[in-house]
Amino acid sequence: MSQVQGPARESCEEQKAMGPETGLEAKVQHGNVDREIECTLSKSANNTKLCGAVDMLEGRDAIQRDLDRLERWAHANPIKFNKAKCKVLHMGRGNPKHKYRLGGEWIESGPEEKDLGPNRILGCIKRSMASRSREVILPLYSDLLRPHLKYCVQLWGPQRKKDMDLWEQVQRRAMMIIRGLEHLSYEDRLRELGLFSLGKRKLRGDLIAAFQYLKGAYKKAGEGLFTRACSDRMRSNGFTLKEGRFRLAIRKKFFTMRVVRHWNRLPREVADAPSLEAFKARLDGALSNLV
């Protein structure tokens, strides 16, 4: 599937659609087709999205050329697009709603397209796979299901306990599928598989983002987001942040508020990591003691 995005966008896709950008999505192997694509090509395990702005005619023509390239590539491999399941989604105000072809057929357009949610994806995995071994289920979970649960989670992630429980329940159900771990608790299954709970993964993402703003690639952009605290405590990590005060309880959910307490609890060797990769490696080792 491919998808396009921009000021005015449209999207064409197989089994899903998007676009006042335009996008085409198709469940195919990618090969090297993206080397010739003019628009933005986003790829994941089970789909590809071609995205581009269509506020000018040049954008429309670029999308059509990319669709033609995808069609030629499919014939050369050979792989066939299911054109009956391809759609164009028009997004953005003032979208000219151009029409696009895939091969010799016009692609149907629509205002929206419903995607499979995590529970339905998990159901598809259970119905489609006869094997329940970790070697089969774990890669499918990691590639097809978990991206839906963690995408931009720092922005939309659940805050209330009942919502967090529902969110975590999806991963809990996925772990129950794996044969040989039935006698273990959810926490022990995660430990056996080398996984974190979704809550810990969200916290990990928060701390990595904080590192980037404090010491990494976003240091300049992060100036003013956090304030260093004057601390002479022997047990501090040497880079203690000041916890802000707030009048409304909702403020404590903001990224710059919620991450401070966890950052201050990091061991010194984690906070002093010289690079992002070193920070990630040390953080993974310390996370089990944080929550």
Q: Per residue in 171-207, pLDDT tens?
A: 999 999 999 998 999 999 999 999 999 999 999 999 9
Domain end, chosen from 195, 221, 236, is at: 195
Q: Are residues 22 and 99 in the same domain?
A: yes
Query: 105 and 122 share a domain?
Result: no
In this structure, the answer to whether residues 152 and 243 fall within a common structural domain is no
* CA Rg value for the chain: 23
Same domain assignment for residues 153 and 84: no
In the chain, what are the helix, strand and coil shares in percent, each to the nearest 5?
45, 15, 40
Residues 257, 168 within the same domain? no
**Average confidence score pLDDT of the chain:** 81
Residue 91 Cα to chain centre, angstroms:
21
Residue, of 34 and 184, whose pLDDT is higher: 184
Residues 269, 251 share a domain: yes
Q: Determine the pLDDT at residue 5.
A: 38
Mean pLDDT of 109-136: 87
Give the domain-ending residue among 68, 94, 110. 110
If asked whether residues 18 and 76 sit together in one domain, one would say yes
Residue 92 has pLDDT above 90, yes or no: no
Do both 183 and 239 map to the same domain?
A: no
Question: pLDDT (tens digit, 9 = 90+) per residue, 203-228?
Answer: 999 999 999 999 988 888 888 889 88
Last residue of a domain, one of 167, 195, 223: 195
Distance between CA atoms of residues 92 and 167, nearest Å:
30
Whether the per-residue pLDDT at 6 is higher than 70: the answer is: no
Q: What percent of the chain has a predicted confidence (pLDDT) above 90?
A: 37
What are the distances in angstroms from CA 107 to CA 21, 41, 57, 63? 15, 19, 18, 13
Strand, coil or helix: 121: helix
Phi, psi of 234 (to 5 degrees): -65, -30
- When divided into structural domains, the chain yields a total of 3
pLDDT digits (tens, 9 = 90+) for 64-73: 999 999 888 8
* CA distances for 123 relative to 101, 107, 133, 170, angstroms: 33, 29, 16, 11
What pTM, to 2 d.p., does this model score? 0.65
Same domain? 165 vs 144: yes
pLDDT of residue 100: 92
Clarify whether residues 213 and 165 are in a common domain.
no
Instruction: Give the range of the structural domain holding residue 104, as residue numbers without chain letter.
Output: 2-110
Asked if residue 27 and residue 96 are part of one domain, the reply reads: yes
> Would you say residue 104 has pLDDT above 60?
yes
Q: Do 256 and 156 fall within a single domain?
A: no
> ∠ CA 166-291-149 to the nearest 5 degrees?
35
Angle of CA points 171, 176, 177, to nearest 5°: 100
Q: Count other Cβ atoms within 10 Å, centred on residue 282.
A: 17
> For the segment 244-267, what is each residue's pLDDT rounded down to a tens digit?
777 777 777 888 888 999 999 999
